[in-house]
Amino acid sequence: MDKPATPNSFRTGPDEQGMFGIFGGRFVAETLMPLILDLERNWNEVKNDPDFKAELTDLSTHYAGRPSKLYFAEGLTRHLREVSSAKGLGGGAKVYFKREDLNHTGSHKINNCLGQILLAKRMGKKRIIAETGAGQHGVASATVAARFGFPCVVYMGATDVARQSPNVFRMKLLGAEVRPVTAGHGTLKDAMNEALRDWVTNVEDTYYLIGTAAGPHPYPELVRDFQSVIGSEARAQILEQEGRLPDTIIACVGGGSNAIGMFHPFLDDKEVRIIGIEAGGRGLDGIEHCASMNAGKPGVLHGNRTYLLQNSDGQIMDGHSISAGLDYPGVGPEHSWLRDSGRVEYVPILDDEALEAFKLTTRVEGIIPALESAHAIAHAVKIVPAMDKDQIVIVNLSGRGDKDVHTVASMLGMEI
Amino acid sequence: MATRIDRRMAKLKTEGRPALVTYFMGGDPDYDTSLSIMKALPAAGADIIELGMPFSDPMADGPAIQAAGLRALKGGQTLVKTLKMASEFRAGDNDTPIVLMGYYNPIYIYGVDRFLKDAIASGIDGLIVVDLPPEMDEELCIPALKAGINFIRLATPTTDDKRLPKVLQNTSGFVYYVSMTGITGSALADTGKVAAAVKRIKGHTDLPVCVGFGVKTAEQAHVIGANADGVVVGTAIVNAVANVLGPKGEKTADPAEAVATLVSGLAQGVRSARLAAAE
């Protein structure tokens, strides 16, 4: 693939057709097309509407708990400086965590859900549908649906329903109906297919609250904009706390909503190195991973063109990751474009490396990170010892790991 | 240049009856069986054949066609084999139009130029690609039209009068009216509404309008056919295949015969429907 010409700014996309270079677009059935155009019209109206912004800011502050803190991870920094010294390097950058795990519902997902529920309300929709993998987006969707009095149906792969039962129960408590999807392998990709089938059937009154910065235009743009509060805050906070921009920022990428939210405000800060972490699963040699940008190729799925795990016939493969939230064979289209343009590096982290970072962070910071976020921390663990002491790294701690303790226990051969 | 689809539609118009358009899944449950089903369709009364290209993630299809696609993929079907199936059929039948129907990704991965060249060589006459709305016409629709292949667009109940011209702009062969919002295989919509919708579309185009989604019986084909230029049946045919497969996918009867029996009945329903409007 040819590398696209370097643009003056990396923050202007998508174009009017919803394209980021060759990525993105609106690859949907005709039945959905008028709905997507209607959504785009409404989105264009609200995105610069001060009343909408004020309502969202108020909810973000008083309901979700924003701004989230930018925390100097002193314990992890000290640990990695010891590692650096042991290697005879004598370095070790300062590590900061952007604490999205402290948000209401325990992850960055609430940022997007609050924005979209206000949009749904304004559009006069009567019913919310959502897809979920690990259940974090399902819980956040069920939460805002409860708060605003919408009936909510969450599609979740049957495999995920079985391995994420606490979140299934939370969604039910919140009044949502969880519909297990048995098609395919019963994971996030299949849940998304089923949500689209619901939407194509219930076109009049239903709002599809998509959970990541993917899908047909305008979803990748609007989800990014709702999540960009992460990067905007982090940028202001680091300037406040350190008086300068970070050297490196890191976030994990499944569909990529926490990452694009973290990255977007920094894209034109050329001195900031930006790294997205894909799920390397059990290694990129086989098929047990979800590293679509490292091991996949561009294709069309779920309404957009993007890097996908697929075979030579264009059939989509099921990925694997220890973390259900990264277990998706595609990625948001803007990441694909940022990859090809070279602005952002995307590297894989293996299941085992993420698990080690999970344990380390819990021990030295007293913070149990989500397994998704542990992938981003694992990469910091790799690169920080070789950096200088006066350098700064921000890791987006996208969610808390309480939901993962069962998975981790079984990985470690423990019973709880 | 008139295509096989144009010629077939013109002929049926002089006969004063609607077309029976039959969808089946290429490679379901295996290549050879599927080819025998395809070969049996014209004699059973199919006027146009829609050859389904299996896809791992058919987001607009109901459980029956999803399952058929998975059976086909499990049986080793690929786009290469689907094109081969068309050319083997074409060797014995130079008149029945073949429309490939499916999703874009396998075509995109095959390569659009190479695909169009091979599709023409295989005797393909038209394409229905579910996830390519007019907004994405540059991808495949325009190249296909230039190559002489009909690009058949779906119009739906959500396609209002304002949008219809955009949908019809680069459509050729026929217009496929999806009778309801929803996935394939759902219940048939109110026939009065369908008739009104066909009339509405005909106000915007001279192309034939075929109606699909939800037609399962000869009686329904008869009723829908009274007000349309063609009736599309898909899920019922795919089910006829599934019904003669055992729990492990083994054949309990001849799928081609099961399909032929169903299609003969549907053909009778269609042939007894008089074209009320078009005269």
- The Cα–Cα gap between A162 and A168 comes to 9
Compare all CA atoms of chain B with the CA of A317 and give the residue at the minimum distance. B56
Domain topology for B4-271: TIM Barrel (3.20.20)
- Of the candidates A94, A100, A398, A403, the residue annotated as catalytic is A398
Q: Give pLDDT, residue A184.
A: 75
Tell me the per-residue pLDDT of B85-121, one tens digit each, with 9 for 90 and over.
999 999 999 999 999 999 999 999 999 999 999 999 9
Nearest to B159 among A30, A303, A313 (CB): A30
- The Cα–Cα gap between A14 and A217 comes to 9
* Distance between start and end Cα atoms, chain B: 24
Compare all CA atoms of chain A with the CA of B167 and give the residue at the minimum distance. A30
Q: What is the DSSP string of A299-341?
A: EEETEEEEEE-B-TTSPBPP---SSGGG--S---HHHHHHHHH
Q: Which residues pair with B128 in a beta bridge?
A: B101
Question: Tokens 């994420």 map to which residue?
Answer: A164
- The Cα–Cα gap between A114 and A105 comes to 12
CA angle at A140 for the pair A135 and A144, rounded to the nearest 5°: 145
CATH 3.40.50.1100 in chain A is located at 27-57+109-224, 64-106+228-411
Q: DSSP 3-state assignment of B60?
A: coil
The CATH architecture of the domain made up of A64-106+228-411 is 3-Layer(aba) Sandwich (3.40)
Q: Give pLDDT, residue B279.
A: 40
Q: Give pLDDT, residue A191.
A: 95
Q: Which residues contact A240 (CB under 8 A, 6 or more apart)?
A: none
Q: Give pLDDT, residue B278.
A: 42
Where helices occur in A60-206 by DSSP H, the ranges are: 74-86, 109-122, 136-148, 158-163, 165-173, 188-201
Known catalytic residue at A172: no
Q: Give pLDDT, residue B1.
A: 66
Nearest to B109 among A25, A299, A302 (CB): A299
- The Cα–Cα gap between A56 and A114 comes to 7
- The Cα–Cα gap between B150 and A201 comes to 28
Q: How far is B178 from chain A (nearest CA, A)?
A: 9
Tell me the per-residue pLDDT of B173-198, one tens digit each, with 9 for 90 and over.
999 999 988 888 888 778 889 999 99
- The Cα–Cα gap between A27 and B129 comes to 10
Nearest to A313 among B78, B136, B167 (CB): B78
Greatest extent of chain A over all pairs of C-alpha atoms, in Å: 65
The CATH architecture of the domain made up of A27-57+109-224 is 3-Layer(aba) Sandwich (3.40)
Which residues from A are below 8 Å from B136, CB to CB?
A: 25-27
* Domain map (residue ranges) of chain B: 4-271
Q: Give pLDDT, residue A228.
A: 98
Q: Give pLDDT, residue A414.
A: 87
Spatial contact of B235 and B64, defined as CB atoms under 8 Å apart = yes
A16 has a chain B CB within 8 A of its CB? no
The dihedrals phi and psi of A184, each to the nearest 5 degrees, come to 60, -135
Q: What is the mean pLDDT of each run of 10 residues along chain A (416 residues)?
A: 74 96 97 96 96 98 98 98 97 98 98 98 97 94 98 94 89 98 86 95 95 97 98 98 98 97 98 98 93 97 98 94 90 98 98 98 98 98 98 98 90 85
Nearest to B59 among A17, A193, A305 (CB): A193
A217 has a chain B CB within 8 A of its CB? no
Does A314 contact B57 at a Cβ distance shorter than 8 Å? no
- Of the candidates A84, A94, A98, A131, the residue annotated as catalytic is A131
Q: DSSP 3-state assignment of B157?
A: coil
Known catalytic residue at A40: no
Asked if the model's pLDDT at residue B275 lies above 70, the reply is no
Q: Give pLDDT, residue B190.
A: 84
Known catalytic residue at A382: no
Compare all CA atoms of chain B with the CA of A33 and give the residue at the minimum distance. B133
Which residues from B are below 8 Å from A189, CB to CB?
A: 57
- The Cα–Cα gap between A7 and A80 comes to 36
- Return the active site residues of B: 50, 61
Does B133 contact A29 at a Cβ distance shorter than 8 Å? yes
A158 has a chain B CB within 8 A of its CB? no
CA angle at A389 for the pair A386 and A390, rounded to the nearest 5°: 125
Q: Give pLDDT, residue B277.
A: 42
Compare all CA atoms of chain A with the CA of B58 and give the residue at the minimum distance. A193
Tokens of residue B140, six digits: 């495949």
